[in-house]
């Protein structure tokens, strides 16, 4: 007797439609629950625990996206898996991306890369774009930002993705007094310039939009006294990446 294939299930926090933020065009974005990092500037602490998610099947989630598939395709968009950290649930992420691609949608997932060794090849085979959030080049800064994670696995993952030829959009958050040191930025820029499939670098300003979520969870936002970077600071960081021949947005 044939054995039925297991139904792919995972923990989903929420989903939404976005434009130009989570990949090209209009995107159906599914946010998975669960993340091992505790980044000081995280704006979604409600996605850290799997228990804050709902168990859903991949067919169920992609069925939601199917309702918008024609509109998304016409708008030049696609399907993005975010979080949390999608690589906490690598098999579920792979199943979501495969099903989305079967609908004819462009696929992407967003990751910090620290669990990159958990990403199976079939997940990357189903991925058209990796949105890579590199927190820092400097090891001590990376550990401080993330709550103790080593930077090496993230850099190794970036190299692996680039060697496969999968397009990468690198994201870097400028936090005054934390990630903005010129030598830290320059180190990351030099590394990024060596990734052959890197298409662009997104330099993002630190913000405090997640403060209300921390309050609702009974937590204190770690960077509550930190101000966003000035336009001059952002311009300096963007210039450091540009000086290495990178496309910066």
Q: How far is it, in rounded angstroms, from Cα 145 to Cα 223?
A: 11
Residue 52 confidence (pLDDT): 92
CB contact at 8 A, 84 and 43:
no
Taken in order of first residue, the domains within the chain and their CATH numbers are 9-242 (3.20.20.70)
List per-residue pLDDT tens for the chain, 249 residues long.
443 445 689 999 999 999 978 999 999 999 999 999 999 999 999 999 999 999 999 999 999 999 999 999 999 999 999 999 999 999 999 999 999 999 999 999 999 999 999 999 999 999 999 999 999 999 999 999 999 999 999 999 999 999 999 999 999 999 999 999 999 999 999 999 999 999 999 999 999 888 999 999 999 999 999 999 999 999 999 999 999 999 999
Residue 6 confidence (pLDDT): 59
197 to each of 11, 78, 90, 128, 130, how far by Cα in Å? 31, 19, 22, 11, 10
Residue 7 confidence (pLDDT): 62
Residue 2 confidence (pLDDT): 41
- Residue 167 phi/psi, 5-degree rounding, is -60, 145
């Amino acid at each position: 007797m044939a054995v039925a294939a297991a139904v792919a299930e995972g923990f989903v926090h929420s989903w939404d439609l976005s434009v130009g933020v989570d990949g090209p065009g209009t995107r159906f974005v599914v946010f998975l629950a669960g993340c091992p990092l505790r980044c000081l500037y995280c704006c979604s602490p409600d996605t850290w625990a799997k228990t804050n998610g709902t168990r859903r099947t991949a067919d169920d989630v992609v069925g939601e996206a199917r309702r918008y598939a024609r509109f998304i395709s016409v708008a030049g968009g696609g399907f993005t898996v975010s979080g949390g950290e999608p690589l906490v649930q690598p098999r579920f992420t792979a199943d979501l991306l495969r099903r989305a691609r079967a609908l004819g949608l462009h696929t992407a997932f967003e990751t910090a890369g620290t669990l990159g060794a958990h990403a199976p090849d079939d997940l990357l085979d189903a991925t058209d774009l990796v949105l890579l959030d590199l927190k820092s080049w400097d090891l001590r800064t990376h550990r401080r930002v993330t709550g103790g994670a080593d930077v090496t696995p993230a850099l190794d993952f970036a190299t692996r993705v680039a060697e496969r030829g999968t397009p990468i959009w690198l994201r870097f958050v400028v936090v005054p007094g934390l990630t903005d040191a010129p030598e830290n930025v320059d180190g990351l820029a030099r590394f990024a310039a060596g990734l052959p499939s890197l298409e662009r670098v997104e330099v993002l300003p630190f913000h405090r939009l997640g403060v209300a979520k921390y309050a609702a969870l009974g937590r204190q936002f770690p960077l509550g006294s930190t101000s966003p970077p000035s336009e001059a600071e952002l311009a300096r960081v963007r210039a450091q990446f540009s000086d290495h021949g990178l496309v910066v947005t």
